[in-house]
Amino acid sequence: MITGASSGIGLAFAHALAARGADLILVARSGDKLNSLARELVHCHGILARALVADLTESGAASDVHARASALGLTPNIVINNAGFATHGHFDTLSLERQLDEISLNCRAVVELTHAALPAMLNQGEGSIINVASTAALQPLPYMAIYGATKAFVLSFSEALWQEYRARGVRVLAVCPGATDTAFFDVVGAAEAGVGTRMATDTVVNASLQALDRGQSHVVPGGANRMLGLLPRILPRQTILQIVANMLRPRHQGSM
């Protein structure tokens, strides 16, 4: 089961796992995109692919989509919590409702779907949960404060579960990609942010699946990203905040 499967990293996970012969449950809000993707994957790889449309910002939606899959006899043994979005701008000027939806999708939906999926995995004595966090989890993000905080939650939550369940056959991995070649920054209204070269989605997915196979608790794809991730451990926190603020400061008003 892949959330946010219709684009970006979620789409790359769908193609990579289909190529490995995995049957897929594709979850996103766009029914047209999901159904088109499901048909493509079935045609190209001969797998089973089922599209389940859901708005995971809604309370209970993630639990419900797992129940819908189970009712179809499609209880997943791999769950990839990829769906998420960010807001960019001064915290006080951003829509509170939008930021609360951001928390719901980035955090609550991850918790709900993980909680729904774990019992069957534990009964089987095996299973995998991949939660897509971000290098944003490694330090606070001025002007993207809610996004950074939600991804820090995902990283902490995932690593705690890694320790809780690894002896019971369930692998949990937090993926912390840096800037990736998706529409993320365009959608969030931060296309001008100084985030450097963007990594290919396939590179992120391959690093993630390799880390899962090795039983890691988290992975930061890319050597440059791993080096940058070490800076908060070396430099004073206020220095890091100033650097990040200079990268992400809105260049114009009217950010999302």
Mean residue pLDDT across the chain = 92
Model confidence at 254, in pLDDT bands (50, 70, 90)? very low
Q: Do residues 201 and 4 lie in contact, with contact meaning Cβ atoms separated by under 8 Å?
A: no
Q: What are the tokens at 171?
A: 């692998």
Q: Which of 139, 248, 140 is nearest to 195 (CA)?
A: 248
- State pLDDT tens for residues 5-31: 999 999 999 999 999 999 999 999 999
Q: Of residues 143, 147, 153, 157, which has the active-site annotation? A: 147
pLDDT reported for residue 190: 52
What is the value of pTM for the model shown? Answer: 0.91
Mean pLDDT over 155-175 rounds to 98
Averaged pLDDT, 56-72: 97
Find the length of the chain: 256
C-alpha 120/C-alpha 67 separation (Å) is 12
Whether 184 has a pLDDT exceeding 90, the answer reads no
pLDDT for the residue numbered 197: 74
* Cα distances (Å, whole numbers) of residue 254 to 39, 85, 87, 147, 250: 39, 18, 12, 18, 9
pLDDT tens, position by position, 109-122: 999 999 999 999 99
Render the burial of 174-201: b for 16+ CB within 10 Å, e for the rest: bbbbbbbbbebbeebbbeebebeeebeb
Q: What is the pLDDT confidence band of residue 170, given thresholds at 50, 70 and 90?
A: very high
pLDDT number for residue 195? 55
Mean pLDDT over residues 138-150, rounded? 97
Does the structure show a pLDDT above 80 at 192?
no
- At residue 15, the pLDDT reads 97
Torsion of CA 16, 81, 74, 42, to 10 degrees: -30
Question: At 113, phi and psi to the nearest 5?
Answer: -70, -40
Q: 101-105, 153-157, 187-191 — which is least confidently predicted?
A: 187-191
Q: What is the rounded CA–CA span in Å between residue 46 and residue 128?
A: 23
CB-CB contact of 182 with 135 (8 Å): no
Please report the pLDDT score of residue 27 as a whole number.
98
Catalytic site includes residue 165: no
Where do runs of H (alpha helix) occur along 81-222?
96-103, 109-124, 145-165, 184-188, 201-214
CA distances 40 to 7, 17, 81, 89, 141, Å, are 14, 13, 22, 38, 38
Residue 256: per-residue pLDDT: 42
Give the Cα separation of 123 and 133 in Å (integer): 27
162 token code pair: 């890694």
Nearest residue to 185 (alpha-carbon basis) of 239, 130, 251: 251
Q: What percent of the chain has pLDDT over 90?
A: 84
Q: Is the confidence at residue 78, as pLDDT, over 90?
A: yes
d(CA 129, CA 114): 7
Six-digit token pair at 71? 């009712």
The residue-averaged pLDDT of 33-56 equals 97
Residue 144: CA count within 13 A, CB half-sphere: 29
Report the pLDDT value the prediction gives residue 51, as an integer from 0 to 100.
97
CATH architecture of 2-248: 3-Layer(aba) Sandwich (3.40)
